[in-house]
Structure 1
């Protein structure tokens, strides 16, 4: 299906629905005539079409279900039309033979609906108010999930459990042998009864996990024992997890006890390998329990609709770190006013906020560099091999419809065509995960570029790479270390059991395994083969390390790539002339500028292969310092210093609030209470002094 055009996909989907509808209509005719061959053929065709829909066309099933003609209705019609067909064959005596079959079918469907009700109760008992990773959950009485066929797939369960009954009725219609139908119906009833029993044994209180109240009490006890200090808050869609993942290593390197707070249940498995404890609190009321914890600071890689909910907690200080910095307006969002501080990479971002005039006070901006870039390999000279590796990493189209957001629509195909025309180029094409999500033209252009790259590989007649034993070994090594590999039927609760507190050093082992995997991956590729990179691995930063030159848009990719010091180019689809474009977007001041028609690619490649022709090298070094800040002290040190300073401010704020609350009710304060209030005031002054000393340092 992935290789089909959108029109052909729609044709396939409509055809599958038409086959199901036509088979039911044919069954009606076959039962009324009666016509045994037609009845049997229609029933078998309908079952086959249902299987195709459940395996490959689930979106069609959801659409059809909205018309109330769901799989249960269709299967009931299918079975009872078979019974009606048998009755119309005028076999004797019909009551004695077919009445038990009818009651048997009714019993089967009764068990099916009872199983569905039990599955709802079991799912509710297994839905906890808090989800965790890297935390010991032995106190919650968690258990493995029942088969997903019983728990979450009623349509597939009905088709599979009812298959013996339908097959028996069909066989009975073929040779007028009601015994086959009786065996089939009995077998379906037995399977349904076993499935129902598997769910019912999980419903007694002693078999259920901790209830909501007990789970929240456990969570508060864990918070009191772990005593988190600095954390990361993240909420977003399934394709936005990369925004949080880029901050995992810097967060783990901070002083204190880190914590990751999520809001969406599905996001638990989108977060990459880390030893940091992770909690997911979907409900606002449960999120508010963090107010009374030791958590002092939360960093925010992105804004979301749910961000305002965590900002209500007055005991926690909040810093916006963003998931990348660019010259786009989204990097100067007025929403940043909601945070206590805005942490940016370097002076360029401070200037950007000042020019944007969105209400961000300069005193609230803290320059920390980009700690996740410290591991990127620096420029080591021009390409020495047969091929020059070019990374084309355009951004997506954005929400505002500005043609300058992405080069994919206006320039992408021209750029790719020019790059592929050079026999000495190996192209790595890494589109943004959201490409095409707003503008269908971007999605269509993306697909055309992929076809161009595949055609170029075929034209080079590169032999397919043989399976790499080393890569398979490294993949197996990563899978063994990963905590995101589960059986297909595992639910959130079962994953919590498997993702308990990690062994010491697991995160470092995963990082080493990732490095070995990337080394094996690049070594496994045929020389000169162009690559379309859309999976989580290889990572963007790993692509940076083997790239000789980057082609991108005005985006955070450019800022991050500058840390390597390598040449880069930016596509100008803004409609501005080159001088105005450079003036409007500081990140392109040291870039080669490519117009929408793709001209300039040849000159770009020439400057990469012959550094003496690269006139932009000094500008790149200057711009790197302007965008990312100084290299000394390292970003990770500045990041930690900013976190500790904000923690001190949070401590001071808590002490002041405690003192004010104590002063608010002087008549009720005597003896020990007065001493406690005095200590709170003194602690507040001490915390303020410590904060001032930290800032001075």
Structure 2
């Protein structure tokens, strides 16, 4: 296995590095000039290789406080010890200056590191933005990464001339070589430190209060009305990304509000302005802005902080609806409104009894489902395309969450046994993150699919199709990605990701459609696919598939917008009748047991629609889950936005009226006190007599 090979190599490299240092100690004490030269040069070369090519290998040594600085200092001192123990070099007249110069070099390294820390702090702004013109802040590119963020790389790289010079002196007993080498290293470190310090000058620095004043002015000019608020971990960005297309079409001025700095680059390409508030104190700048409401696609620990802003109304829109308990989280009652797709979710909240009142639930449909194509009848081609899209195992350990562990291999085996099936396997990206058994089963399923492909043969698309996919990939990457140099920090990215100029959403949509068309054309119609990348998206897979097999998840609800046949794996241990009653989203689909013996009959019902007994039920369930088709979901969504914004405006008007009423009353009370009390409040005697 690949992992089994990585562990020994890691320890072999670290052991070699430590062995060279140990051998250098012995060579310096003997002394043995050839051995000392070889071990010193070899140790530095291996250290440099690991720093630049595999720095993760050195993490263990850093945890032991034996990082690059003490390793290089030890190497330099051992060379000086060797010089002290050989003949031909005067210790006081020749070696002492070299010792002082080496110590100066290492002192400059620590000085450079202190400057680097100061520079990083000055470039860590109180907010991070994207799609907002930051030219008024006069932001500057980041300094070279080797100077500001990689002390080990910097020290070892600048040590090369010193080591070469000292080793040359060791070989020739001519101290001039050592002086030249160490002098060059000192000059490099001194020059690098001075160059890095220029980022501390006022023309390259932006003060926090200056940034906040600029942002306050931008908010006043842009006048945002509705924002999407998101906070989460590195793998949760998809929860926000699924709402980007809807947010870009909201009537008003949309905004995206984030809380984690790294999340700014996790959000997919969009024209919508993005602001990240790492600290809650800076986020309260929104209280006095024109922002009237926020949309929340997920619950997070930091959500409670933004709910404290009284001038903003909040709606929970979730990142998908299913029959799982997570779709009826009690936290939802903290929001002003809970927006759901259709009547089914309203009923779900009522049955869950988690404190969400019916009057606070608004049915808006699922606007982002518009790209999903409707059912067009039985498969027209030679192959029936089946999408198997299981969900992940979840946090609660319920065996019914995912079918991958108990049923996945059986389902895939039955599908692959049918020569007329083309399988698309798209597991949830978090599969195996909680239960290792799910990860292992996922790997076995992918191996089964790859093996099945080796047994199939047929004509493959030509080179022209592959070239078209490559061209479309480049075009899509240009639309959706911003390529940064390695040294770029968040300030430089803010500078490069300024105002988009508009129209980017349409370009991205067009490029995505063209890429998806080229992607599917680049594979033969008989070839099974394992899809683990973000592209193609799940909706694109929907449009390719004739049948969905999944678990109890939001994937089923979204699939129903097409009204195509589907099946759900029941690995919960519940009888089928109880399973259908407990999970209404499965009521219009076939149920597969862990043994998957129902797959052949399921495929027959897809190929011969007259045998499909769920056709009418799917149409009925679609409306129950997603709401009516007329008016369109986006229209209903915009109407809900407008209604909640009006509620925010009405509250602001009431608060202003109360404030205006309270101020005269307070002034009148103060006047009465001043007329009835003829005492000086700051005079102790007057206060006592009063």
Whether the aligned pair in 1 keeps the contact of 2:560 and 2:622 (CA below 8 Å) is yes
Whether the aligned pair in 1 keeps the contact of 2:168 and 2:178 (CA below 8 Å) is yes
Shift of 1:171: 5.1
Per the alignment, do residues 47 and 319 of structure 1 end up closer, same or farther by CA in structure 2, a change over 3 Å counting?
same
TM-score (norm: length of structure 2): 0.92
Per the alignment, do residues 29 and 386 of structure 1 end up closer, same or farther by CA in structure 2, a change over 3 Å counting?
farther
What do residues 512-531 of structure 1 show as CA deviations (whole Å, max 9, x unaligned)?
A: 11111111111122443332
Given candidates 110, 124, 128, the residue that maps to 1:127 is 124
Please report the RMSD computed on the Cα atoms of aligned residues, expressed in angstroms. Answer: 2.2
Given candidates 18, 27, 32, the residue that maps to 2:29 is 32
Per the alignment, do residues 92 and 498 of structure 1 end up closer, same or farther by CA in structure 2, a change over 3 Å counting?
closer
The aligned residue for residue 487 of structure 1 is: 485
Given candidates 82, 86, 89, the residue that maps to 1:92 is 89
What is the CA–CA distance in structure 2 between the aligned matches of 1:526 and 1:173, rounded to whole Å? 66
Given candidates 437, 440, 464, the residue that maps to 2:433 is 437
Greater mean alpha carbon deviation, residues 247-256 or residues 10-19: 10-19
Given candidates 69, 75, 87, the residue that maps to 1:72 is 69
Per the alignment, do residues 549 and 165 of structure 1 end up closer, same or farther by CA in structure 2, a change over 3 Å counting?
farther
Whether the aligned pair in 1 keeps the contact of 2:461 and 2:522 (CA below 8 Å) is no
Whether the aligned pair in 1 keeps the contact of 2:226 and 2:292 (CA below 8 Å) is yes
What is the CA–CA distance in structure 1 between the aligned matches of 2:128 and 2:393, rounded to whole Å? 34
Residue 355, structure 1, aligned to residue 351, structure 2: yes
Residue 628, structure 1, aligned to residue 626, structure 2: yes
Q: Unaligned stretches of 5+ in structure 1?
A: 671-697
Residue 195, structure 1, aligned to residue 192, structure 2: yes
**Aligned positions of 1:554-633 closer than 5 A:** 554-633=552-631
The aligned residue for residue 507 of structure 1 is: 505
Shift of 1:17: 2.6
What is the CA–CA distance in structure 2 between the aligned matches of 1:419 and 1:102, rounded to whole Å? 74
Given candidates 228, 243, 246, the residue that maps to 1:247 is 243
What is the CA–CA distance in structure 1 between the aligned matches of 2:125 and 2:54, rounded to whole Å? 31
**Aligned positions of 1:288-687 closer than 5 A:** 288-460=284-456, 468-667=466-665
The aligned residue for residue 157 of structure 2 is: 160
**Aligned partner of residue 279 in structure 1, secondary structure:** strand
TM-score (norm: length of structure 1): 0.91
Shift of 1:384: 2.6
Per the alignment, do residues 51 and 92 of structure 1 end up closer, same or farther by CA in structure 2, a change over 3 Å counting?
closer
Shift of 1:511: 1.2
Per the alignment, do residues 44 and 599 of structure 1 end up closer, same or farther by CA in structure 2, a change over 3 Å counting?
farther
Greater mean alpha carbon deviation, residues 502-511 or residues 178-187: 178-187
What is the CA–CA distance in structure 2 between the aligned matches of 1:369 and 1:297, rounded to whole Å? 19
Residue 225, structure 1, aligned to residue 221, structure 2: yes
Greater mean alpha carbon deviation, residues 609-618 or residues 396-405: 609-618
What do residues 172-228 of structure 1 show as CA deviations (whole Å, max 9, x unaligned)?
A: 55666655444433332232223212211121223312x111111111111111111
Per the alignment, do residues 522 and 165 of structure 1 end up closer, same or farther by CA in structure 2, a change over 3 Å counting?
farther
Shift of 1:251: 1.1
Greater mean alpha carbon deviation, residues 78-87 or residues 391-400: 78-87
**Aligned partner of residue 132 in structure 1, secondary structure:** strand
Whether the aligned pair in 2 keeps the contact of 1:13 and 1:57 (CA below 8 Å) is no
What do residues 497-549 of structure 1 show as CA deviations (whole Å, max 9, x unaligned)?
A: 11111123122111111111111111122443332222221111111111222
Greater mean alpha carbon deviation, residues 268-277 or residues 31-40: 31-40
**Aligned positions of 1:15-54 closer than 5 A:** 15-51=12-48, 53-54=50-51
What is the CA–CA distance in structure 1 between the aligned matches of 2:526 and 2:337, rounded to whole Å? 47
**Aligned partner of residue 423 in structure 2, secondary structure:** strand
Per the alignment, do residues 76 and 461 of structure 1 end up closer, same or farther by CA in structure 2, a change over 3 Å counting?
farther
The aligned residue for residue 258 of structure 1 is: 254
What is the CA–CA distance in structure 2 between the aligned matches of 1:451 and 1:174, rounded to whole Å? 58
Whether the aligned pair in 1 keeps the contact of 2:143 and 2:199 (CA below 8 Å) is no
Rg bigger for which structure?
Answer: 2
What is the CA–CA distance in structure 2 between the aligned matches of 1:455 and 1:185, rounded to whole Å? 60
Residue 284, structure 1, aligned to residue 280, structure 2: yes
What is the CA–CA distance in structure 1 between the aligned matches of 2:541 and 2:208, rounded to whole Å? 45
The aligned residue for residue 674 of structure 1 is: none
What is the CA–CA distance in structure 2 between the aligned matches of 1:414 and 1:439, rounded to whole Å? 19
Per the alignment, do residues 81 and 413 of structure 1 end up closer, same or farther by CA in structure 2, a change over 3 Å counting?
farther
Shift of 1:399: 1.1
The aligned residue for residue 686 of structure 1 is: none
What do residues 104-126 of structure 1 show as CA deviations (whole Å, max 9, x unaligned)?
A: 32222122112111111111111
Residue 105, structure 1, aligned to residue 115, structure 2: no
The aligned residue for residue 181 of structure 2 is: 184
The aligned residue for residue 137 of structure 1 is: 134
The aligned residue for residue 680 of structure 2 is: none
Q: Unaligned stretches of 5+ in structure 2?
A: 669-690
User: May I ask how many residue pairs the two structures share in their alignment?
Assistant: 666
Per the alignment, do residues 12 and 445 of structure 1 end up closer, same or farther by CA in structure 2, a change over 3 Å counting?
farther
Whether the aligned pair in 1 keeps the contact of 2:556 and 2:585 (CA below 8 Å) is yes
The aligned residue for residue 151 of structure 1 is: 148
What do residues 248-282 of structure 1 show as CA deviations (whole Å, max 9, x unaligned)?
A: 11111111111110011111111111111111111
